[in-house]
Amino acid sequence: MLQLVPETRFVVFDYGLKTRSSTFTLANGTSVEIELRGARGGRRYDRVENLATMYCASRLGSLGKLLNTNVAAIDQCDAVLDVSGGDSFSDIYGSRRFYDIVYPKLIAIQRKIPLFLLPQTYGPFQGLRFRELAARAVRGAEMCWARDQHSFQILQELLGDRFDPANHRCGVDLAFGLEPRPAPEVLSVDLQRMLELNRQERPLVGFNISGLIYNDPVAAAERYGFKADYHAVVRRFLTWLLSDTDANVVLVSHVISPAGHYESDPGACQAMADELQPQFPGRIVLSPSTLDQSQLKWLIGQTDWFCGTRMHATIAALSSGVPTATVSYSDKALGVFESCGQGGAVIDPRVLETEQVLEQLTDAYQNRASARQSLSQHLPKVLGQAREQLDCIVERIRSAAQQRHRCEG
């Protein structure tokens, strides 16, 4: 968006503390200074960045901006863009996570700042109260985009008689429009060597392990209803790849959390590498945890086949034309994969046993050539949608900002 509207100034609300500045590097290499402000959950209601505190202040009219500097910063914005992490606007992750996601939307609505819900997943919403708050958020937004047909249907249900096809649209995930940026200089020597090998003889497989599932498999299985053993699936499939094929493997981290954190992908990938490297020396490496989103997409795009559990890791692969499978425990994956003609590559450990998941993963890898051909036929349309929706969103933001300035003037 900064490349389309370079004069735009962004204030990014994240899970940090206080107000900070950061340098953001665009895919074309341009560096931009971004203002960061904390906006997070928790029980420290005395903190300006506490979302519940911000929400309460947002309801106090002109007094709100005097009581909370974050609310004052929002009041200065021409628009609020909200993507909910792409796939977090749901109550399946628990009530705390839901309120962290819905509060920013309600705050923008309270402050009468045009709210744009960027392409994302809507639902599922299992609790009535959560569904009511979600409906309130989408009905108060200036524009809402779903990233697949299934989510679009849920969005329409939430909107009811407020549905307007001009304002409520079905698009594709924003990550399809992310431009890759090469970063060979930060790769390990072993990974550089793998990229340089004859790939007809030594395919490179990218494999993303979700720390959320891997690091606490019992809790994850109970929470998401797994039938398959995720640990066993990862270990046995990678062992098969390394013993029965000539492929090399790069374990790709997508969610980078502090060491020891239960969601840490690097910790999960390191644990699996430590287990397999003695048996397969020189065949399995880790992606650098320092890559930004554009660099990581470039690396994923260098693989010959990719499998991931994290949604946006798989989107990076799909949008790069890499045949891709996903071991997914949420319905959100199916719509994204179907948009690329790859619905059959969604492998659900909630309904399949361990042996069935392994069988489908093996089939997906062995049929990667036909998957690549199918993906190449569907991808141009999806990438075209990504460009068109961004142009539309930018134009609507401009229009809303101009309208707001006219009203204030």
Q: From CA 141, how far away is CA 109, in angstroms rounded?
A: 7
* pLDDT less than 50: residues of the chain: none
CA 283 to chain centre: 29
Instruction: Provide the 8-state DSSP code for 179.
Output: P
Residues 28, 127: one domain?
yes
φ, ψ of residue 179 to 5 degrees: the values are: -90, 135
If residue 33 lies in a helix (H) or strand (E), which one and from where to where? strand 31-38
**Do 66 and 112 belong together in one domain?**
yes
pTM: 0.86
Rounded CA separation 309/333 (Å): 9
Q: Is the dihedral of CA 334, 335, 340, 344 positive or negative?
A: positive
Cis peptide before 124 (omega within 30 of 0): yes
Q: 227 φ, ψ to 5°?
A: -95, -40
Q: Are residues 217 and 279 in the same domain?
A: yes
Whether 134 is in a domain gets the answer: yes
Integer angstrom CA distances of residue 161 from 135, 139, 157, 158, 164: 12, 10, 9, 9, 8
Going through 26-132 in order, the beta strands assigned E by DSSP cover: 31-38, 80-82, 115-120
232 and 216 part of one domain: yes
- Indicate if 171 and 302 belong to the same structural domain: no
pLDDT digits (tens, 9 = 90+) for 298-341: 999 999 999 999 999 999 999 999 999 999 988 888 888 998 99
pLDDT score of 409: 62
DSSP-derived secondary structure letter, 61: T
The DSSP letter of residue 309 is S
Find the CATH number of the domain harbouring 290: 3.40.50.2000
- Alpha helices (H) in 162-248, listed in sequence order: 189-196, 211-214, 217-224, 230-244
Domain shared by 92 and 15, yes or no: yes
Residue span of the structural domain in which 349 resides = 184-379
Residue 6 lies in a domain: no
Q: Is residue 392 part of a domain?
A: yes
- Please give the pLDDT value at position 220: 80
Q: What is the pLDDT of residues 155-186, one digit of tens each?
A: 999 999 999 999 999 999 999 999 999 999 99
- Residue 75 maps to a domain: yes
140 within a domain of the structure (yes/no): yes
Is there a single domain that holds both residue 238 and residue 341?
Answer: yes
Please state the domain count of the chain.
2
Q: Are residues 194 and 333 in the same domain?
A: yes
Does a structural domain hold residue 164?
Answer: yes
3-state DSSP assignment of residue 254:
coil
